[in-house]
């Protein structure tokens, strides 16, 4: 069997910044934040979330244009803290799930958040294969050494 | 169909309305190729056809057979006994001679087969040096390759088949290759056709079949499933290859890009269903598929789709189990897995097509049920339907094809798990759709509130569990009651699902012709079950569920178990076997004998 050929949209398309429309103001932190995070005080995950919000503001992403995907673990609570489309999938399999979104909807941005167990342990196989397939998505690994 | 020499040595020509031809050789002899030609010829001649084959699961080598049953009238099964056996090797001859009817014809390759005296009394033996003659006809540079086509010529002459159509089929198959390959094939065919077998054998001519209303298409179950999915609007699939599912995957992989779709071969089965879940979450209905071992792997992800209420179509082309089992043999032992696999209370829809034509339409139905109820839908095929070739009326593609591109028009507000809907069904709003209220949904595996955020609230878990169950109850209320084949009341009801429909119906026909009171019921909707079954069951003294799975600890198989649990009906019992082969009509009748007792006939 030969390897499947996957059409990858051109890089220019991925730098999509939604055209500013007159009736929509850029998202504020208040609009983009959802549930209060349930992490322990002092956890590094808070700063990752803060950076995510900052990136959304700076890139002027609209809420319906991106998806926040995670597996299982501390870091995997991410989607609930973000006011946008998201999915909380099963342990270790968030990368193929996110790949399915990216491949069938090239118009959406896909962000995957996971921990070391989710991405490198049970998800280790999917991690290497998603990298090999070079899917258009952003994966943030939050390693807590557990 | 008994062979006789005609008067004065001239071959007799007999009219027949059907024939069963069994071709027995080794894998890589091109047995499937010529069997396929015969099947396609039948389809193109407005005849009915059904095929059956066995192949070893050994990569290369090993015995293989292909049986074709062609009929001018209705063909319900691939045939219990053969009229003609074409045997290439000694083991083909010895192992399959008893599959012939008494007085049937065995055409054997005298270069490889030594007939046995005791069988020469019972069956009409015709020995032809097929290998030698093939080498003479086409030069022998590739040893005896092409002897299958030579044999096809022999069969063509015996049954007075349409030579032009057969040569066209050969041309379609080998046309893409080097022209010498096609020429050799045609030369072999002509040599076989012109061999004077007519002088030692009578020839048979099919009576004209009833005209069909429209052109027929000829394909096997896997092809029908794949084309049905494409017609239904599926544009994303992900899977891993496994026998006997791989054909569906190969077709989708080749065809979906033509319609702007994508098919991905993943690193494993779990990645495959996860990708399909992702694509479904993102807006359309995605498909994944496998056979037993792969479906077992997919169970956790399936549970996610049930909990998150995401549409998904999962195809299971069943094979012998458990574990690696019998990869190239038929079995119907995944029903419980399809209905109940995955932890927790995870209701999902299960459908089972009964023949190749139903594979096409059931695929479309599965996609539409998934879309409407936001639930995973299993389609249970099996190795027998997947690989057998049948002819059916060409579907009206204008009416049947659908576009299920999601609507991304902005909405005011959206609750993905809205508890206020009475039947539990919530229409979907997919990523890319702006929600003006600013409250966006999360799809997740944790028990959740109406917006998808996690909750452990006792009340909400009960309400959400009820919602997921109510969706299937709402679906059940719309399902048609299956029709009884035969009178609606009687002594014995034979119940079946999936690929056993043909042999069960033939058994009913034969039993009724012999004066017994037998009817049949075939169930396509296995979870939820359709309404009205209890009324049907009450019309019969005895009910036997015919399945290709084990009778289990308590003496009944998997569908029988579902029906007994649902209807608390003790007269529902099982007729089971697990030999990796589909039911023969006579086997069903023998096993049902204890239940067909004339003295118990209902008044």
User: Could you report the per-residue pLDDT of A95-110, keeping only the tens digit for each?
Assistant: 999 999 999 999 999 9
Whether A52 maps to a domain, the answer reads no
A8 touches chain B (CB under 8 A): no
Say what the pLDDT of residue A121 is: 93
Whether A139 maps to a domain, the answer reads yes
pLDDT tens digits along B14-63? 888 889 999 999 988 889 899 999 999 988 888 888 898 888 877 777 88
Say what the pLDDT of residue B158 is: 87
B279 touches chain A (CB under 8 A): yes
Nearest-CA residue of chain B relative to A78? B442
By mean pLDDT, which of A84-98, B9-23, B63-77, B238-252 is the weakest? Answer: B9-23
What is the pTM for the complete model shown? 0.89
- Rounded Cα–Cα distance for residues B332 and B386 (Å): 13
- Mean of pLDDT over chain B: 91
When pLDDT is averaged across residues B450-468 and rounded to a whole number, the result is 95
β-strand pairing of B63-71 with B48-54: antiparallel
Given a cut of 90, is residue B206 above it in pLDDT? no
- Rounded Cα–Cα distance for residues B454 and A34 (Å): 13
Length in residues, chain A:
146
Whether A51 maps to a domain, the answer reads no
Both B197 and B312 in a single domain? Answer: no
Strands (E), A8-94: 66-70, 85-88
- What's the burial of B80, exposed, middle or buried (CB within 10 Å: 0-12/13-18/19+)? middle
Nearest-CA residue of chain B relative to A72? B445
Both B44 and B18 in a single domain? Answer: yes
Q: How far is B407 from chain A (nearest CA, A)?
A: 13
Check CB contact under 8 Å for B431 and A99: no
For chain A, the distance separating the N- and C-terminal CA atoms, rounded to the nearest angstrom, is 39
* B16 SS3 class: strand
B195 with B11: CB under 8 angstroms? no
When pLDDT is averaged across residues B195-202 and rounded to a whole number, the result is 70
Given a cut of 80, is residue B248 above it in pLDDT? yes
By mean pLDDT, which of B119-123, B295-299, B481-485 is the weakest? Answer: B119-123
Whether B211 maps to a domain, the answer reads no
Give B-chain residues touching A126 at CB under 8 angstroms.
267, 271, 274
- Rounded Cα–Cα distance for residues B107 and B84 (Å): 7
Best residue of B269, B271, B406 to probe chain A, by most A CBs closer than 10 Å = B271
Query: Residue B140: pLDDT band by 50, 70, 90 thresholds?
Result: low
- Rounded Cα–Cα distance for residues B205 and B224 (Å): 30
When pLDDT is averaged across residues B161-189 and rounded to a whole number, the result is 88
β-strand pairing of B82-87 with B18-26: parallel
By mean pLDDT, which of A4-8, A29-33, B31-35, B89-93 is the weakest? Answer: A4-8
Given a cut of 90, is residue B212 above it in pLDDT? no
pLDDT tens digits along B81-111? 999 999 999 999 999 998 899 889 999 999 9
Given a cut of 70, is residue A17 above it in pLDDT? no
Query: Residue A71: pLDDT band by 50, 70, 90 thresholds?
Result: very high
B411 touches chain A (CB under 8 A): no
Both B413 and B457 in a single domain? Answer: yes
Check CB contact under 8 Å for A96 and B236: no
Whether B401 maps to a domain, the answer reads no
The residue that leads in pLDDT, B405 or B57, is: B405
Provide the Cα torsion B150, B155, B157, B163; round to 10°.
-70
Check CB contact under 8 Å for A87 and B266: no
Given a cut of 60, is residue B4 above it in pLDDT? no
A60 touches chain B (CB under 8 A): no
Say what the pLDDT of residue A2 is: 47
Say what the pLDDT of residue A20 is: 44
Whether A117 maps to a domain, the answer reads yes
Given a cut of 90, is residue B566 above it in pLDDT? yes
| Count of other CB atoms within 10 angstroms of residue B338 | 24
Best residue of B346, B442, B448, B453 to probe chain A, by most A CBs closer than 10 Å = B442
Domain at A144, CATH number? 3.40.50.970
A26 touches chain B (CB under 8 A): no
> Distances in Å between the alpha carbon of B558 and those of A73, B132, B545, B563?
38, 51, 9, 9
Whether A21 maps to a domain, the answer reads no
Check CB contact under 8 Å for A64 and B278: no
- Rounded Cα–Cα distance for residues A60 and A55 (Å): 8
Both B388 and B421 in a single domain? Answer: no
Give B-chain residues touching A106 at CB under 8 angstroms.
none
Whether B297 maps to a domain, the answer reads yes
The residue that leads in pLDDT, B128 or A7, is: B128
B262 touches chain A (CB under 8 A): yes
Both B13 and B144 in a single domain? Answer: yes
Whether B1 maps to a domain, the answer reads no
Whether A129 maps to a domain, the answer reads yes
Both B459 and B328 in a single domain? Answer: no
What is the total count of domains within chain A?
A: 1
Say what the pLDDT of residue B121 is: 87
Both B112 and B74 in a single domain? Answer: yes
Whether the bond between B164 and the residue before it is cis, its omega within 30 degrees of 0, is no
Check CB contact under 8 Å for B434 and A63: yes
The residue that leads in pLDDT, A145 or A46, is: A46
- Rounded Cα–Cα distance for residues A55 and B567 (Å): 59
Both B68 and B37 in a single domain? Answer: yes
Residue A114 sits in which domain range?
62-146
- Rounded Cα–Cα distance for residues B594 and B175 (Å): 55
Whether B170 maps to a domain, the answer reads yes
Best residue of B278, B430, B433, B455 to probe chain A, by most A CBs closer than 10 Å = B278
Tokens of B230: 């494409």
Strands (E), A37-83: 66-70
Q: What is the predicted ipTM? A: 0.87
Whether B2 maps to a domain, the answer reads no
- Rounded Cα–Cα distance for residues A48 and B220 (Å): 53
What is the total count of domains within chain B?
A: 4
Say what the pLDDT of residue A4 is: 47
- What's the burial of A37, exposed, middle or buried (CB within 10 Å: 0-12/13-18/19+)? middle
The alpha carbon of B313 is separated from its chain's Cα centroid by a whole number of angstroms, namely 17
Given a cut of 80, is residue B1 above it in pLDDT? no
Enumerate residues 6+ apart whose C-beta is below 8 A from B118.
none
Residue B77 sits in which domain range?
7-206
Query: Residue A15: pLDDT band by 50, 70, 90 thresholds?
Result: very low
B377 with B339: CB under 8 angstroms? no
Both B71 and B174 in a single domain? Answer: yes
Both B101 and B115 in a single domain? Answer: yes
Chosen domain end from B376, B395, B414: B395
* A27 SS3 class: coil
Q: How far is B465 from chain A (nearest CA, A)?
A: 19
Both B232 and B345 in a single domain? Answer: yes
Nearest-CA residue of chain A relative to B241? A1
Both B466 and B495 in a single domain? Answer: no
Whether B265 maps to a domain, the answer reads yes
Chosen domain end from B179, B206, B233: B206
């Amino acid at each position: 069997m030969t390897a499947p050929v996957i059409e990858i949209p051109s890089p220019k398309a991925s730098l999509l910044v939604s055209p500013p429309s007159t009736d929509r103001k850029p998202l504020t932190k208040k609009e983009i934040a959802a549930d209060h995070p349930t992490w322990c005080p002092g956890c590094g995950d808070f700063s990752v979330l803060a950076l995510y919000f900052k990136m959304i503001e700076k890139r002027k992403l609209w809420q319906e244009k991106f998806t926040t995907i995670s597996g299982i673990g501390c870091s995997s609570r991410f989607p609930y803290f973000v006011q946008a489309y998201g999915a909380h999938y099963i342990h270790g399999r968030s990368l193929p799930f996110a790949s399915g979104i990216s491949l069938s909807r090239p118009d959406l941005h896909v962000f995957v958040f996971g921990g070391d167990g989710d991405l490198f342990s049970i998800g280790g196989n999917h991690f290497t294969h998603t990298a090999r397939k070079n899917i258009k998505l952003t994966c943030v690994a939050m390693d807590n050494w557990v | 169909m008994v062979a006789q020499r005609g008067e004065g040595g001239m071959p007799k020509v007999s009219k027949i309305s059907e024939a069963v031809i069994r071709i027995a050789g080794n894998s890589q002899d091109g047995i499937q190729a010529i069997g396929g030609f015969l099947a396609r010829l039948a389809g193109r001649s407005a005849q009915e056809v059904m095929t059956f084959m066995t192949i070893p699961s050994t990569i290369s080598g090993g015995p293989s057979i292909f049986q074709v049953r062609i009929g001018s009238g209705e063909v319900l099964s691939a045939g219990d006994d053969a009229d003609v056996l074409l045997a290439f090797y000694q083991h083909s001859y010895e192992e399959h001679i008893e599959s012939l009817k008494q007085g049937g014809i065995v055409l054997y390759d005298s270069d490889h087969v030594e007939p046995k005296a005791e069988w020469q009394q019972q069956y009409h033996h015709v020995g032809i040096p097929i290998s030698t003659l093939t080498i003479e006809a086409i030069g022998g540079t590739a040893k005896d390759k092409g002897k299958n086509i030579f044999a096809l010529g022999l069969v063509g002459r015996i049954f007075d088949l349409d030579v032009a159509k057969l040569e066209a089929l050969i041309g379609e198959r080998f046309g893409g290759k080097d022209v010498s390959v096609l020429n050799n094939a045609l030369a072999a065919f002509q040599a076989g056709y012109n061999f004077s077998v007519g002088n030692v054998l009578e020839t048979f001519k099919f009576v004209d079949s009833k005209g069909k209303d429209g052109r027929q298409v000829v394909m096997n179950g896997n092809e029908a499933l794949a084309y049905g999915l494409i017609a239904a609007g599926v544009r994303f699939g992900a899977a891993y290859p496994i026998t006997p599912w791989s054909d569906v995957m190969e077709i989708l992989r080749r065809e979906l890009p033509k319609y702007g779709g994508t098919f991905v071969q993943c690193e494993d089965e779990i990645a495959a269903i996860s990708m399909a879940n992702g694509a479904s979450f993102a807006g359309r209905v995605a498909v994944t598929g496998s056979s037993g071992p792969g479906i077992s792997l997919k169970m956790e992800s399936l549970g996610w789709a049930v909990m998150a209420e995401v549409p998904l179509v999962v195809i299971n082309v069943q094979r012998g189990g458990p574990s690696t089992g019998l990869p190239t043999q038929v079995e119907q032992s995944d029903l419980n897995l399809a209905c109940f696999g995955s932890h927790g209370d995870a209701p999902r829809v299960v459908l089972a097509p009964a023949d190749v034509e139903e594979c096409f339409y059931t695929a479309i139905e599965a996609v539409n049920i998934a879309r409407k109820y936001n639930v995973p839908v299993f389609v249970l095929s099996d190795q027998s339907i997947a690989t057998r070739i049948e002819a059916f009326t060409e579907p009206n593609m204008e009416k049947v094809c659908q576009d299920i591109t999601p609507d991304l028009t902005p909405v005011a507000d959206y609750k993905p798990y809205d508890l206020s809907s009475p039947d539990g069904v919530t229409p979907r709003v997919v990523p890319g759709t702006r929600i003006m209220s600013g409250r966006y949904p999360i799809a997740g595996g944790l028990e959740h509130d109406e917006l998808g955020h996690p909750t452990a609230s006792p009340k909400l878990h009960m309400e959400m569990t009820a919602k997921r169950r109510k969706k299937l109850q709402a679906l059940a209320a719309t399902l048609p009651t299956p029709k009884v084949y035969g009178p609606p009341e009687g002594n014995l009801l034979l119940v079946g699902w999936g690929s056993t429909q043909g042999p069960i119906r033939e058994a009913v026909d034969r039993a009724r012709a012999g004066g017994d009171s037998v009817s049949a019921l075939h169930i396509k909707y296995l979870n939820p079950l359709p309404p009205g079954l209890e009324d049907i069951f009450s019309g019969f003294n005895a009910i036997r569920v015919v399945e290709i799975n084990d009778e289990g600890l308590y003496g009944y198989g998997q569908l029988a178990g579902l029906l007994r649990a649902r209807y608390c009906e003790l007269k529902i019992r099982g007729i089971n076997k697990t030999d990796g082969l589909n039911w023969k009509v006579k086997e069903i009748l023998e096993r049902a004998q204890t239940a067909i007792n004339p003295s118990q006939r209902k008044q």
